[in-house]
Amino acid sequence: MKPTAIRKLRAKLARDECVCGLWVTLDSASITEMAVAAGLDWVVVDAEHGHLDWGDLVEHLRATVRSDTVALVRVAELNAGLIKRALDIGADGVVVPWIETADQLREAVAFAHYPPRGRRGIGAERATCWGQRVAEHVAEAEENVLVVPIIESVAGGRSVGELLEVPGVDIFQFGPADYSSTAGYAGHWEGPGVGEAIRAASKKIRGRGKHCGVLATSNDNLIERREQGFRFLGLGTDSGLLIRSLRSAQGVAHGDEELPPFDVELPRVRQATPLLDRPPESVRPDRPEVMTVVGEGARYELAPDITFEALVGRHIGARNLTAGVVTFAPGARLPYHRHTFGESITLLAGSATVEVEGRVHHLDALDNVTVPRGLAHAVVNTSTSEPAVLHVALASAEPSRELVEDNFSRLSKSYDATGHPGGERVTRVRTADRYQAGPGTSFVDYVNADLMPGIEFSGGYGAFQPGGRLPAHFHDFDESITIIEGRATCIVEGRRYVLADRATALQPRGRVHYFTNESTSPMAMIWFYAGPIPERVVVDEACVTETGDLWRIA
């Protein structure tokens, strides 16, 4: 235990200063040595998740000896043996997950203190200098040991008032991802309404002179959390910071070139080997494909000087999907509104910003913002002289919107910001991960359930070199494909179509098709599926020929 380091940390918090630290998940103790060398106020060595064992933990703790970096261990659960052992091997305190009641918190505090105050047993380990400094350690520990509960459930958030009555706790950590799970948004970092609930709880904690901690997901989020009053600030996890740094450096090094994929496994959308001789009878389509050129879609006036042309939607038989183009006159603004379904917005031409509850994202061509259901958002043409054109996809064939009062504080996001945890997702097409969906193709995923858990649809951008093509395939949901550059050839069960100039194809569930670029110039598309996982089932090429006569459509 390092009483001096603990007292310095508490003194900073008492002055309302931020204390910054690192969440350690990897086994190399060199990571913690680097945190110490960088002068971080604290590290949390994570023994709840991941692969760290007790040998790894003790090496991380040794790396903080004779430093001013407080070393905490996140134990796997509220358990006397785990807390005692973490403190016995030299931790300055423990982080205890899933605290929901005052009784649980009183137990955690008791497990970390010696009798008569608590129920911690005395061990002859590192903390007591192998039994040579028992009296000194007992005195130091009673005064200094840190117990940090994690509030990571709706029940825990509702119990904040009771938790604040438990003595011996200075710092409360929040876990937005698990909190979101208990609120019905499993897989979200901070699902709808969760951010507000956490901030309300944190205000109660700060109102009692205590302190709140949270793990930031980006530099922008770090600033946001500091402004929200969080003072025990996690800069990130070791693995997360490494990945973010790697991808950022790769983007600089590659310039306009494609970045190599980070994932070692190909996602389901990239299947290229035929899986079936033909589609099963269970996906027999009940509608033909429809090709719609710009000017022939259903037109709607969304606001003064803003027109939406639906090229795919209920009017042509689409299910769970609407897609089209929105044209903004110079300076036009679509006011704040929300939907009961997800929406995806891609800039095709001009300049625009998308605002989501005050977070302002400036878009370059082909950049995308996807907004989950329930979040208020607005779109602005930032040019006063040129129109802006955007592609919009909505996870509903019957879209509606609810206007929302604009009372949001504006926060302009940096260009490399990737969105808001649990909220919108931003994809910068220039630096996004790319993959090959067929020979001569390069694809970027804007959204799917792996990228945004809980989202109802999926989609992205695809570029085709001359001769590039996809294999013959079908989907178990409807698809829209908008040609935004060049000329595309679409083959549907032997029927041939040529599309250009934002013409859009509706491929109903079960229709076997493929796209190819038969021209001598590049071709590009924006595609969206009425399904959250971008699965395509590759079939034998005979299925897409006229002689295959697959579904005997007249």
- Cα 162 to the chain's mean position, in Å? 32
Name the residue among 288, 289, 230 with its Cα closest to residue 13.
230
Instruction: Give CA–CA dist 238/244, Å, rounded.
Output: 10
- Name residue, tokens 């958030």: 157
268 Rama class: left (phi>0) / alpha (psi -120 to 50) / beta: alpha
3-state class (DSSP) for residue 439: coil
Instruction: Determine which one of 49, 51, 60, 339 is catalytic.
Output: 49
Question: How crowded is residue 95: how many other Cβ atoms within 10 Å of its Cβ?
Answer: 25
- Name 93's bridge partners: 72, 146
513 counts as catalytic = no
- Name residue, tokens 């490399």: 416
**Pairing mode, strands 171-174 and 146-151:** parallel
- Cα 435 to the chain's mean position, in Å? 20
DSSP percent split of the chain into helix, strand, coil, nearest 5: 25, 30, 45
- Cα 258 to the chain's mean position, in Å? 22
Q: Directed axis angle between helix 134-144 and helix 3-14, to 10°?
A: 10
- CB burial string 104-128: b at 16+ within 10 A, e below: bbbbbbbbbbbeeebebeebebbbb
Q: How many residues does the chain have?
A: 554
Instruction: Give CA–CA dist 471/448, Å, rounded.
Output: 21
Return the active site residues: 49
